[in-house]
Amino acid sequence: MALVDNFDSYNDGDLNGQGGWSGSPTYAVQTSVVYSGPKAVSATIGSGGIRISKSITPETNGSQIAYQRVSTGSSGGSYFEIWSSGTRIAVFGFDAGASKIYLYYLTGGGLSNVEILYPYSADTWYKFELEWNSTNNQVRARINDGSWFGWYNCDAFGDIDTVSLFNSEGIITGYFDSFSDPNAPPPAVGKSQGLII
């Protein structure tokens, strides 16, 4: 089953150690910038990459929804990831340096990428949806309930068992909220998907 978490029941401050989350103490539960409900998570870094993860019930074929936004910035990235038995299968989020939303997926032993939306607007919430089919070793993605982009072939992988938040080196702040939360309202921004390059 996909991760369902809106962070609303957690104490403000360090996400690490709350609700099964484990990893960098930089991720903080806060009430200043939220999508739905009273709380969301944010992280700002200056150098190096940070990550925090949570196990889910292993799922062969499924999907993960996450609402994300980033502050204005010229470098860094903010993403959510899906993992299978310790191997990162797909990464979906913002690349501030390129001003693009990317889907990265595991193929040929490394991560290939495809542009999902260009440009994005900083300080704006987007609904990210990532679907996987480990029977066929494929992933696909969409933004704001728009059209799905085609399936992308990955290296062979098993059931998805972990979801993580990841921020790469840079100066932006990433925000996360309403992971597959059925009570989250629809996104406020348009459904335009842009073009794959």
| pLDDT tens profile 43-99 | 998 778 999 999 999 999 999 999 999 999 888 999 999 999 999 999 999 999 899
Number of structural domains in the chain: 1
Secondary structure of the chain as H, E, C letters: CCCCECCCCCCCEECCCCCCCEECCCCEEECCCCCCCCCEEEEECCCCCEEEEEEEEEECEEEEEEEEEECCCCCCEEEEEEEECCEEEEEEEEECCCCEEEEEEEECCEEEEEEEECCCCCCCCEEEEEEEECCCCEEEEEECCCCCCCCEECCCCCCEEEEEEEEECCCCEEEEECECCCCCCCCCCCCCCCCCC
Q: Is the pLDDT reported for residue 190 higher than 60?
A: no
Q: Report pLDDT for 81.
A: 98
Q: Which pTM was predicted?
A: 0.93
In a domain, 65, yes or no: yes
Query: Does residue 163 form part of some domain?
Result: yes
Residue 2 pLDDT > 60, yes or no? yes
Provide the domain limits for residue 149. 13-177
Residue 40, domain member (yes or no): yes
With cut-offs at 50, 70 and 90, classify the pLDDT of residue 189: low
Whole-number pLDDT of residue 9:
98
Task: Give domain status of residue 189, yes or no.
Answer: no
| Model confidence at 191: pLDDT above 60 | no
In a domain, 2, yes or no: no
The CATH number given to whatever domain includes residue 155 is 2.60.120.200
Look at residue 193 and tell me whether its pLDDT is greater than 70. no
